[in-house]
A and B are shown apart, each in its own frame.
Chain A
């Protein structure tokens, strides 16, 4: 069977599963729509959380980024996993105990203020919408590359699938589809990695293969370091991202952003108890770690495979452009791989110097082309396509639910129309979901210029606004509404300002009034890493403002004491 037909078959089969689940797991009440009835098993929720969490960025882009950044790519590995420790120790159990449907609802209750709730909704929507745009784009790209349909057609198919199971099933439908999506995603990610690790090092476990030896007896990482430094690239295992100081803050921003992203926190409202919420965070990280500890192996092995396919010890033995393999030709067609014969000798030189002739090697092709580079069977390549789509769809659905429930439950039921019945609220929540999908789809069809850098930005925004408000709400009895509101606004404000002043207002480059230049960066911290500073601003402003205002009322202090007990 041709690759094309096989891909349609496997991707089609996964879609049948998702839609089947949608009919089976229809939501009949707001309780089921927002928190899946609150009786999901902690291991099942852990799996759903892993799929919710790992987006197209984790599945497709991360290993590619690490492949080119080397050690500097560690910020994503540590940042996107370490946040779960904060979530499990500082946030999830207490919010589960409180028993609200949404994150802004908790903030509204804790800070006894509708204003605080609305500010939280605004922060949530800014962070989640920036995030979901990236997913919509991922869906369109995955379709167009693997199924050779139009970007627009692919996006439409993806939107219809999400529409069916998210509008019908709410959190309940999303939970069960995410479990299925996790299984597909992890199989698709690990199978090529196991094959490649075995071929290179003789060890089928990629985590060991990365520390193992090659056929010639030398260590894989030593060999990689040696080859690429000879070619003028920076050493793989020590190349820091800008500076260790910048890496510190980048990692911190991603970690506290993880613990402050509402679509992840919400998943812990679906388990039956506080105890289950704690262990569920552990299970989530187990399922995430399977992919995240495989990714560095995929990264280093893909980089080594790519280099050794092209460059040879003697330049005149390099790969001739005429003899390039079929994967090279295929990716050239997409424009993601580009060769320019600068010295006209017909051979390819891929180096870290100005003689480099591989003028474009897009980082996203590393995971996608990996099975082809290693010569794996077609069904594996088809599986990778299904895995990439599962990653983008599962995260998009989780984010859309966070947005929709904050509109129907927090804004409508909580603030503007508190008198509507449960049935009416369920109807409105479905309408809000459909509307959110339409808005996200609009941005998918007309991707704004800033689409590329948005995922990392979403973390900075969540880190600087929502995480501090939640943490102070649980761990301080004296934090009052004035402090929390001022803190959230200051945190998200200063983060947006920093990003805009260096990358342009709404990312329009010409409006960047301080320039995207390293010397202009505050302490050398890149804009994507600024969320941690935003969080510090949030905490400080909240503390100062809180001191000047009355303490929270007695009922709130009692509520804090209640949520602290399991």
Chain B
């Protein structure tokens, strides 16, 4: 496998990791599991309701910056590799 392919493979696994979290907080906590999470309280919020109207949005923001940061590291790693090959 050449380095472009392994770069792409690392990128894909990072994307999948992020999308699992993306799915869990919105569709998982906000919709599918909402009733059971609502039995737990976070201050005046029912937890499932909080994920649907607040929490999922905060996690989305963090996820995008996390992805940007991580893929940047991977970019760096492969660009140094590039220099060594040259």
Which residue in A66, A71, A221, A281 is a CB contact (below 8 Å) of B64? Answer: A281
Complex Cα spacing A212 to B50, Å:
13
Complex Cα spacing A222 to B45, Å:
9
- Asked whether A293 lies within 8 Å of B57 as measured between CB atoms, the reply is yes
Shortest distance from the beta carbon of A216 to any chain B beta carbon, whole Å: 13
Interface size on B, as a range, is 35 or more
Stretch of A85-93, A336-344, A365-373, A521-529 at the chain-chain interface: A85-93
Number of interface residues, chain A, beta carbon within 8 A? 44
User: Per-residue 0/1 for B8-32: is the Cβ within 8 Å of any A Cβ (1 yes, 0 no)?
Assistant: 1001000100110010001100111
Stretch of A76-84, A315-323, A478-486 at the chain-chain interface: A76-84
- Asked whether A296 lies within 8 Å of B54 as measured between CB atoms, the reply is yes
- Asked whether B42 lies within 8 Å of A296 as measured between CB atoms, the reply is no
- Interface flag for A282 (CB, 8 Å): yes
- Interface flag for A251 (CB, 8 Å): yes
Nearest to B7 among chain A residues (CB) is A565
Give the residue among B4, B32, B50, B54 with the most A Cβ atoms within 10 A: B54
In the complex, which residues of chain B have a beta carbon less than 8 angstroms from the beta carbon of A85? 18-19, 22, 60, 63-64
Complex Cα spacing A273 to B43, Å:
43
Given known A-B contacts A81-B57, A293-B58, A244 and B31 have beta carbons under 8 A apart? yes
- Asked whether A251 lies within 8 Å of B64 as measured between CB atoms, the reply is no
- Asked whether B27 lies within 8 Å of A207 as measured between CB atoms, the reply is no
Residues of B contacting A: mostly:
helix
Shortest distance from the beta carbon of A292 to any chain B beta carbon, whole Å: 6
Give the residue among B26, B53, B72 with the most A Cβ atoms within 10 A: B53
Complex Cα spacing A248 to B34, Å:
12
User: Per-residue 0/1 for A179-215: is the Cβ within 8 Å of any B Cβ (1 yes, 0 no)?
Assistant: 0000000000000000000000000000100111100
Complex Cα spacing A220 to B46, Å:
12
Given known A-B contacts A211-B43, A219-B43, A251-B31, A561 and B72 have beta carbons under 8 A apart? no
- Asked whether B44 lies within 8 Å of A220 as measured between CB atoms, the reply is yes
User: Per-residue 0/1 for B33-47: is the Cβ within 8 Å of any A Cβ (1 yes, 0 no)?
Assistant: 011001000111110
Given known A-B contacts A238-B38, A278-B71, A84 and B54 have beta carbons under 8 A apart? no
Cβ contacts A to B, 29 pairs, < 8 Å: A71-B53, A77-B57, A81-B57, A82-B56, A85-B18, A85-B19, A88-B64, A211-B42, A211-B43, A211-B44, A212-B43, A212-B44, A221-B46, A221-B49, A237-B38, A238-B34, A251-B30, A251-B31, A278-B64, A278-B67, A281-B68, A282-B64, A282-B65, A286-B61, A289-B58, A289-B61, A293-B57, A293-B58, A296-B53
Q: Residues of B with Cβ closer than 8 Å to A? A: 4, 7-8, 11, 15, 18-19, 22, 26-27, 30-32, 34-35, 38, 42-46, 49-50, 52-54, 56-58, 60-61, 63-65, 67-68, 71-72, 75
